[in-house]
Amino acid sequence: MGTPQRDVKVNYSEVQKDLLIEKHCAFLIGYGRSHNTYEYGATDYLRMSGIYWLCTCLDLLHSLKLIDQEHIIDYIQKCYDKNSGGYSPCPNHDPHLLYTLSAVQLLVQLNRTDLIDKQSLCSYIKQLQQDDGSFIGDQWGEIDTRFSFCAVACLKLIDSLDTIDIDRATNFIMSCLNFDGGFGCIPGAESHAGQIYCCLGFLSLVQRLDNLDLSTRNMLAWWLCERQLDKSGGLNGRPEKLPDVCYSWWVLASLKILGKIQWINREKLSKFILASQDDETGGCSDRPGNIPDPFHTLFGIAGLSLLNTYDENIIRKVNPVLCMPEYIIQKLEIKMQLL
């Protein structure tokens, strides 16, 4: 008998089994409007990404038309820092690669790429690349494979990948590969499903997945499918951690890139995501019974999209690398590598 897994107990005979589309849309729209709550004030530092989670989820649910798009475009413009060429999470904060990607994704999604100053954006991203190929997120110098992903995702969306040194950037990503087949945030750091998504997404966007040999791909896919917990059916982000709905995205998208999504028990995971919906307020939380938020709502719905649990008329197909509706990626003819 193996070591017991850390897991949560879900009473599947009592939890929600239907997808609460209308409630989720109302939850997301309401979240964007509740400006005088404590949560709103306390989340300034990530607002641009919050708007991306909210809009992408609404778009996947065929409901982007329900929000005031002009208001969002106006907000993004206020977060543009013309001195650097990057975007900040909210006005008067410093620009950062994380929020620059969210801003670019939003402008692409809202069909307003005409507002992007491509040249300044490219030079902003270029000056964040270090000699070892890694990227710092902003002027304060933190290095993380998340930022490598953000850099290439932004550049890919504006068709300017040749701005940076791809060979060196790829070498840095490969230097973060661990003995277990996973990737961490810097060389030698513990494998984590979120970082694995960033590194595989990076390799997919620059079409260098061939850097991973067959045995590494299989070991990594095995590590990823071991994230599914027997009892709850939810996924965790690394061994000995509790399941969390957001890993339905980071793990599944990684498996999709590796061509191994069928290694997950689809039915059990769908049930876990549905059980994490709040049937009073709408929205999904990290695990059943907790408080919902737009982050877990997007990654729950996007996970269901990857699992093909629902027809495309209900949940649109999501692109597994950029986490944007597939119809947009196809319209832009953006090519990426999937195994």
Whichever of 31 and 197 has its CB closer to ligand GRG, that residue is: 197
Residue nearest to ligand GRG (CB): 194
Task: Determine the angle formed by the axes of helices 214-225 and 247-257, rounding to 10 degrees.
Answer: 160
Q: Give the integer Cα–Cα distance in Å for 323 and 253.
A: 9
Q: Which of residues 157-196 bind ligand GRG (CB under 6 A)?
A: 194-195
Residue type at position 12? Y
Using CB under 6 A as the binding rule, whether residue 237 contacts ligand GRG is answered as yes
Q: Do 172 and 185 meet the contact criterion of CB atoms below 8 Å apart? A: no
The nearest distance, CB 319 to ligand GRG, in angstroms, is 10
The single residue among 150, 161, 212, 307 that binds ligand GRG, judged by CB under 6 A, is 150
The single residue among 149, 172, 202, 272 that binds ligand GRG, judged by CB under 6 A, is 149
CB under 6 A: which stretch of 120-128, 210-218, 234-242, 271-279 binds ligand GRG? 234-242
Q: Give the integer Cα–Cα distance in Å for 296 and 74.
A: 26
The single residue among 146, 156, 217, 260 that binds ligand GRG, judged by CB under 6 A, is 146
| SS3 call for 135 | strand
Whichever of 109 and 309 has its CB closer to ligand GRG, that residue is: 109
| SS3 call for 290 | coil
Residues in the chain: 339
Number of H helices, E strands in the chain: 14, 0
Window 190-229: contact mask with ligand GRG (x via CB under 6 A):
----xx-xx-------------------------------
The single residue among 244, 255, 300, 315 that binds ligand GRG, judged by CB under 6 A, is 244
CA neighbours within 13 Å on the CB side: how many for 224? 33
In DSSP notation, 42-109 reads HTGGGHHHHHHHHHHHHHHTT-GGGS-HHHHHHHHHHTB-TTTS-B-SSTTSPP-HHHHHHHHHHHHH
Window 247-286: contact mask with ligand GRG (x via CB under 6 A):
---x------------------------------------
Whichever of 241 and 317 has its CB closer to ligand GRG, that residue is: 241
Q: Which of residues 308-337 bind ligand GRG (CB under 6 A)?
A: 323
Q: Do 269 and 303 meet the contact criterion of CB atoms below 8 Å apart? A: yes
Interface with ligand GRG (CB under 6 A): 98, 101, 146, 149-150, 194-195, 197-198, 237-238, 241, 244, 246, 250, 323
